[in-house]
């Protein structure tokens, strides 16, 4: 069933001097099992939008349906919603606080008032999903590397067994290898657990490589909602709103402009390599 | 001796238990010797935990060597009487702009550094003007920093460092938290300071695209300097970079992949223009056939 957003508006500080229309008439649908990328420059409304999706911020008007039920209806169980829609904030490792890795991951399911066995089995499962084995369980989360801390924080959300996982820039500040490790793990969750993923990122290269669909936000409005290939075709418009396409898009378009009959749908290095080799072998 | 010189530098992080017994010693910098010329733009690469931030903190005496020596314009950082001079000469800019900005309005924040140094008021204002102009933030001087974008905040932080008139600026992943536009703004600003004001720049980053214009690239791994050369030299060694958990720009990687498949391209292509210059001639002879085919003709080989 997934998430459906209808005519969602959000106004910060309504009636004050700082009034700001942060979300303007957003309509969108995210189906079960989709891997969606959400991009937009700082201040475009993407973080505001994702906080609506698990009910942390309440829209000024409009509706959000989770699995067919309007979350703004009286009596809707918001706490349950927050465990179904897991949100991993930016720099989630800043929120680690327990004495060891395992207790930290247990915190979420503990709040869901589950039995001790259930809490522990879910936490084990979540840590396995992010690739941390038992040797990490008793270590202090503060003695881990940046990438490991972040994986512990993600496990903390996974332990609540969300159906939808939203990650706000999960790779910011990580080195290229750490970035690939986190993204590969997220992709595995998507493939193996059929989890719906919403990935907020500034890295167009990452988005192009992983997601099925891209939502582009600008000034609180949804401006594009399509496959990466279609969205990156608009690279000039993306630049105008403070974004960019992957470097490879520029290579392909420049070749095309200079008369090479290359397929401009290309968004990854592998595709570009194969297409150029094909053209050269003619 | 260059503006920055490190000789046989070693730094250990020492963890102690409650009774002050040593629990663990982690060597973060392992025998690094470097000499950096004044006026250069240096990029430092390395994965998380490779020692690059620890190295940066040695340069304005936030951390002091466990063994070996660091000199800033000939001043030994481990001598306490040099502390203020060293800090005046090397300014630091960190990752998170929100942790570095303290003023209520932009001009106050920029003036904070020189005021602490005891610079006379008139001179402070002159420096605030100059620094804000240098980073292109003069129109925002009376704005509250918390209403600025991430890129603008970082430029204010850079102006704050500039106002202390350093010889050298060390930026530790200044763009990690910024969007693509903010990143461009900051990198452009830093390049301008380097070119126009002749300030020596050490830029630590994970974004390979920010490194291609540097004069020199230094790669660190496990506390050691493992690669040191021009961007072209460094990015010619794609496999080696990957072995240090690093990446190359997409254009470089594409050229490398094509070369592996037998397309005759030079090593270390860094920019789109370079790629085009070298790739376009390869289509000669292929293109006309392709077009001919599309037109239904058949010239054949």
Interface confidence, given as ipTM, is: 0.78
| CA gyration radius, chain A | 20
Cα nearest neighbour of B24 on chain A? A143
Burial of A3 (0-12, 13-18, 19+ CB in 10 A): buried
User: What values do phi and psi take at A226, rounded to 5?
Assistant: -165, 180
Q: Return the CATH fold of B4-242.
A: Rossmann fold (3.40.50)
Query: Can you tell me the distance from the alpha carbon of B247 to that of B228, in angstroms, rounded to the nearest whole number?
Result: 16
Check residue B33 and report its DSSP letter. Answer: E
How far does the CA of residue A247 sit from the closest CA of chain B (Å)?
6
How far does the CA of residue A193 sit from the closest CA of chain B (Å)?
28
Does A272 reach chain B within 8 Å, measured CB to CB? yes
Confidence of residue B140 (pLDDT cuts 50, 70, 90): very high
Residues from chain A that touch B221, judged by Cβ atoms under 8 A, are: none
At B18 the pLDDT is 82
Of A42, A43, A280, the CB nearest to B282: A280
Q: Do A42 and B179 touch (CB under 8 A)?
A: yes
Sign for the CA dihedral angle at B103, B105, B110, B114 comes to: negative
How wide is the angle at C-alpha A243 spanned by C-alphas A241 and A246, nearest 5°?
145
SS3 of chain A: the string is: CCEEEEEEEEEECCCCCCCEEEEEEEEEEECCCCEEEEECCCCCCHHHHHHHHCCCCCCCEEEEEECCEECCCCCCCHHHHHHHEEEECCCHHHHCCCCCHHHHHHHHHHHCCCCHHHHHHHHHHHHHHCCCCHHHCCCCHHHCCHHHHHHHHHHHHHCCCCCEEEEECCCCCCCHHHHHHHHHHHHHHHHHCCCEEEEECCCHHHHHHHCCEEEEEECCEEEEEECHHHHHHCHHHHHHCCCCCCHHHHHHHHHHHCCCCCCCCCCCHHHHHHHHHHHHCC
User: What values do phi and psi take at B181, rounded to 5?
Assistant: -65, -45
Between strands A61-66 and A69-70, the pairing is antiparallel
Query: Model's pTM, two decimal places?
Result: 0.82
Cα nearest neighbour of B184 on chain A? A242
User: What values do phi and psi take at A157, rounded to 5?
Assistant: -80, -40
At A94 the pLDDT is 86
Interface test with A, best of B95, B97, B152, B181 (most A CBs within 10 A): B181
pLDDT digit string, tens, across residues B90-119: 999 988 888 888 889 999 999 999 998 899
At B95 the pLDDT is 86
- DSSP-derived 3-state class of residue B179: coil
Residues above pLDDT 90, as percent of chain B: 65
At A42 the pLDDT is 79
Q: Which helix (H) or strand (E) holds B289?
A: helix B286-294
User: Is B286's pLDDT higher than 80?
Assistant: no
Confidence of residue B190 (pLDDT cuts 50, 70, 90): very high
At B215 the pLDDT is 96
At B260 the pLDDT is 93
Confidence of residue B299 (pLDDT cuts 50, 70, 90): very low
Q: What parts of chain A have a pLDDT lower than 70? A: none
Nearest to B100 by CA among B165, B177, B36, B39: B177
Cα nearest neighbour of B255 on chain A? A273
Sheet holding B224-229, edge to edge: B90-93, B168-172, B200-204, B41-45, B216-221, B224-229
At B287 the pLDDT is 64
Other Cβ atoms less than 10 A from the Cβ of A158: the count is 26
How far does the CA of residue B45 sit from the closest CA of chain A (Å)?
9
Number of domains in chain A: 1
At A202 the pLDDT is 85
Segment 42-81 of chain A within 8 Å of chain B by CB = 42-43
CB B63 within 8 A of CB B225: no
At B289 the pLDDT is 52
CB A233 within 8 A of CB A248: no
List the domain boundaries for chain B: 4-242, 249-296
CB A174 within 8 A of CB B47: no
pLDDT digit string, tens, across residues B41-83: 999 999 888 899 899 999 999 999 999 999 999 999 999 999 9
Query: Can you tell me the distance from the alpha carbon of B74 to that of B163, in angstroms, rounded to the nearest whole number?
Result: 22
User: What values do phi and psi take at A39, rounded to 5?
Assistant: -125, 160
At B179 the pLDDT is 81
CATH number at residue A128: 3.40.50.300
SS3 of B45-102: the string is: ECCCCCCHHHHHHHCCCCCCCCEEEEEECCEECCCHHHHHHHHHHEEEECCCHHHCCC
Q: Do B179 and A204 touch (CB under 8 A)?
A: no
- DSSP-derived 3-state class of residue B138: helix
CB A213 within 8 A of CB A36: yes
Average predicted confidence (pLDDT) for chain B: 89
For residue A156, give its domain range: 2-245
Phi-psi region of B49 (alpha: psi -120 to 50; beta: other; left: phi over 0): left
Q: With respect to residue A73, please indicate whether it lies within any of the assigned structural domains.
A: yes
Residues 6 or more apart whose CB falls under 8 angstroms from that of B195 comprise none
How far does the CA of residue B4 sit from the closest CA of chain A (Å)?
26
Q: What is the largest CA-CA distance in chain A?
A: 66
**How many cross-chain Cβ pairs, A to B, lie less than 8 Å apart?**
115
Confidence of residue B300 (pLDDT cuts 50, 70, 90): very low
Sheet holding A61-66, edge to edge: A20-30, A3-12, A61-66, A69-70
What distances in angstroms separate CA A49 from CA A23, A42, A213, B38, B55, one per listed residue?
7, 13, 17, 47, 40
What distances in angstroms separate CA A108 from CA A113, A131, A195, one per listed residue?
9, 19, 18
What distances in angstroms separate CA A188 from CA A90, A142, A192, A194, B245, one per listed residue?
21, 26, 6, 9, 21
Q: With respect to residue A270, please indicate whether it lies within any of the assigned structural domains.
A: no
Query: Can you tell me the distance from the alpha carbon of A13 to that of A229, in angstroms, rounded to the nearest whole number?
Result: 38
User: Is B292's pLDDT higher than 50?
Assistant: no
Burial of A138 (0-12, 13-18, 19+ CB in 10 A): exposed
Residues from chain A that touch B176, judged by Cβ atoms under 8 A, are: 172-173
pLDDT digit string, tens, across residues B203-246: 999 888 889 999 999 999 999 999 999 999 999 999 999 999 89
Residues above pLDDT 70, as percent of chain B: 95
Between strands B41-45 and B200-204, the pairing is parallel
- DSSP-derived 3-state class of residue B158: helix
């Amino acid at each position: 069933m997934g998430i459906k957003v209808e005519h969602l508006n959000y106004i910060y500080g309504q009636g004050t001097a700082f009034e700001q229309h942060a979300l303007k008439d957003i309509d969108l649908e995210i189906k079960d099992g989709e891997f969606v990328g959400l991009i937009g420059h700082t201040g475009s409304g993407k973080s505001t939008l994702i906080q609506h999706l698990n009910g942390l911020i309440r829209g000024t008007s409009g509706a959000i349906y989770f699995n067919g039920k309007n979350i703004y209806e009286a009596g809707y169980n918001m706490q349950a919603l927050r465990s179904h829609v897991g949100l991993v904030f930016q720099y989630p490792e800043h929120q680690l606080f327990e004495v060891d890795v395992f207790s930290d991951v247990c915190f979420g399911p503990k709040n869901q008032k589950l039995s001790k066995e259930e809490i522990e089995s879910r936490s084990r499962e979540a840590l396995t999903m992010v690739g941390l084995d038992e040797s990490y369980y008793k270590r202090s989360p503060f003695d881990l590397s940046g990438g490991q801390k972040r994986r512990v924080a993600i496990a903390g959300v996974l332990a609540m067994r969300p159906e939808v996982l939203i990650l706000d820039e999960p790779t910011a500040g990580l080195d290229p290898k750490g970035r690939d490790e986190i993204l590969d793990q997220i992709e595995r969750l998507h493939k193996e657990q059929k989890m719906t993923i919403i990935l907020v990122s500034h890295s167009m290269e990452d988005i192009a490589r992983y997601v099925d669909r891209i939502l582009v936000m600008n000034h609180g409005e949804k401006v594009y909602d399509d496959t990466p290939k279609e969205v990156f075709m608009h690279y000039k418009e993306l630049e105008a709103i403070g974004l960019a396409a992957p470097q490879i898009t520029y290579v392909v378009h420049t070749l095309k402009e200079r008369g090479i009959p290359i397929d401009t749908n290309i968004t990854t290095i592998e595709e570009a390599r194969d297409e150029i080799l094909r053209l050269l072998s003619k | 001796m260059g503006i920055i010189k490190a000789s046989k530098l070693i730094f250990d992080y020492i963890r102690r238990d409650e009774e002050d017994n040593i629990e663990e010693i982690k060597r973060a910098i392992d025998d690094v010797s470097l000499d950096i010329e004044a006026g250069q733009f240096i990029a430092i690469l390395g994965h998380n935990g490779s020692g690059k931030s620890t190295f940066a903190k040695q340069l304005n005496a936030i951390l002091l060597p466990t063994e070996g020596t660091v000199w800033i314009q000939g001043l030994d950082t481990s001598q306490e009487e040099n502390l203020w001079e060293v800090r005046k000469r090397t300014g630091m800019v960190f990752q998170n702009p929100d942790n570095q900005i303290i003023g209520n309005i932009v001009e106050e924040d920029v003036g904070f550094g020189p005021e602490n140094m005891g610079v006379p008021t008139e001179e402070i204002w002159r420096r605030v003007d100059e620094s804000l102009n240098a980073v292109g933030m003069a129109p925002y001087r009376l704005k509250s920093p918390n209403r600025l974008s991430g890129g603008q905040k970082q430029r204010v932080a850079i102006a704050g460092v500039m106002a202390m008139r350093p010889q050298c600026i060390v930026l530790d992943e200044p763009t990690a938290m910024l969007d693509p536009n903010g990143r461009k703004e900051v990198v452009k600003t830093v390049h301008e300071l380097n070119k126009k004001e002749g300030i020596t720049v050490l830029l630590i980053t994970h974004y390979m695209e920010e490194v291609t214009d540097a004069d020199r690239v230094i790669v660190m791994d496990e506390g050691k300097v493992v690669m040191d050369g021009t961007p072209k030299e460094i990015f010619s060694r794609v496999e080696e970079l990957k072995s240090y958990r690093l990446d190359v720009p997409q254009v470089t990687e594409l050229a490398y992949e094509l070369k592996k498949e037998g397309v005759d391209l030079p090593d270390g292509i860094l920019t789109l223009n370079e790629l085009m210059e070298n790739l376009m001639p390869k289509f000669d002879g292929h293109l006309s056939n392709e077009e001919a085919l599309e037109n239904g003709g058949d010239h054949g080989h």
